[in-house]
Amino acid sequence: MKFSLLKILPYLVYLFLISMYQIILAEPLSVWGAHLAIAPMVIALVAIYKPQVVAIWFGASAAFVVNTGSPEGAAAGMIVAAFIAIGANYFKSRLNLESLPAKVAVVAAGCLLFELVRVTFLSTSDVFRIYLVDSLPSTAYTAVAAYIFFLFKDRYISYERVREVF
């Protein structure tokens, strides 16, 4: 099998976008403390649209990029990201992910798992309160972003449809 940079280039761009989001856009895009959990969302999206092996190594790489600033949770983050990739890929093969709510539910479940592990390993006090105040709103925010993404991806919203309305 011949190695080609063109095959991994999109994933490198995804990793770059995740890191740029973490560095530059995380604070401006947060709404009342709820942040967009971009890494688990992108991991689930890759797992939905690509094969399982690709999703697993991308998930581990994305978790490594996200946890670069906090190495104490890096191993758990990589394991959870791999589980998100495996789970999303499993649900892709077992369920009918042609429906929009099913896709959003897979992304939200992956985000919820990622947030649970993040809060558990990185918090020192009152994990349950942080989970309710930070993780659940962040999961809802990410689910709304995934819903909007799928609206454009599945062409429920397109330039032609908007132009027909106006």
Question: What's the pTM?
Answer: 0.86
3-state secondary structure of 9: helix
| pLDDT tens profile 19-60 | 898 888 888 888 888 888 888 899 998 988 888 888 888 888
pLDDT at residue 148 in the model:
92
Q: Which residues partner with 31 through β-bridges?
A: 34
* CA–CA distance, 77 with 95 (Å, rounded to integer): 26
Q: 153 Cβ partners below 8 Å, 6+ apart?
A: none
| pLDDT tens profile 63-81 | 888 877 777 767 777 888 8
> CA torsion sign, 66 to 113 to 100 to 28?
negative
Q: 105 Cβ partners below 8 Å, 6+ apart?
A: none
Q: Where are the domains of the chain?
A: 35-165
